[in-house]
Amino acid sequence: MVAVKGDCIIGSQIQGNGYARIRTAAGRQLAHRVVWERERGPIPPGHQIHHRCGTKGCINVDHLELLTADEHGRLHPRPVKCQHPERTTRPSGRGYCPVCEREWKRNGAANRRSQRRLRYETDPVYRARRLEENRRYREANRDG
């Protein structure tokens, strides 16, 4: 089942990232790629399908265009992550910012702590296991 918005034909199974998926004999696949291959033939290695209309869920083959990965990348440039003067490049060529990485690690640890706290408060089995582990730790490290 599909919907029509203007000239676009929108697939019915829209995922969180905006792309339509369909179920085929090979499993769930991106609908625009399946439509392209059915109407225009196989997608060569190193090529991608671009939505000229800008609607990711569109499966109208007239709105799709075959581009190399470089051409497609130029149409959709990735924003620079930060403007820190410490930003540099790794030996692999990827951009890297030590300030952002420290912040990411610090926030990641905080998120993991809050997830553990939430689980501790809502899961009685997890809470009992953690309480027992803490009790054993205190007994093993008791002075005297």
* Total-model pTM: 0.55
pLDDT at position 120: 75
Give 65-74's long-range contacts (Cβ < 8 A, gap of 24+).
66/36, 66/40, 72/48
- Boundary (domain end) residue, out of 75, 96, 124: 75
Predicted confidence (pLDDT) at residue 144 exceeds the cutoff of 60: no
- Boundary (domain end) residue, out of 75, 101, 117: 75
Task: State how far the Cα of 125 lies from the Cα of 131, in Å rounded to an integer.
Answer: 10
pLDDT at position 48: 93
82 assigned to some structural domain: no
24 assigned to some structural domain: yes
Predicted confidence (pLDDT) at residue 7 exceeds the cutoff of 80: yes
Which alpha helices (H) appear in 1-144, and where do they start and end?
31-40, 69-75, 98-122, 124-140
Contact 63, 51 (CB under 8 A): yes
Predicted confidence (pLDDT) at residue 39 exceeds the cutoff of 90: yes
- Boundary (domain end) residue, out of 48, 75, 102: 75
pLDDT at position 81: 63
Name the band, by pLDDT with cuts 50, 70 and 90, for residue 44.
very high
Task: State how far the Cα of 46 lies from the Cα of 73, in Å rounded to an integer.
Answer: 12
| Residues 54 and 31 both lie in one domain | yes
Closest alpha carbon to 32 in 17, 20, 45: 20
* pLDDT, mean of residues 87-113: 77
For strand 64-68 and strand 88-89, is the pairing parallel, antiparallel, or unpaired? unpaired
Range of the domain at 126: 88-140
| Residues 66 and 96 both lie in one domain | no
Cβ-count burial of 20 within 10 angstroms (0-12 exposed, 13-18 middle, 19+ buried)?
A: buried
Predicted confidence (pLDDT) at residue 139 exceeds the cutoff of 80: yes
- Between 132 and 109, name the one with better pLDDT: 132
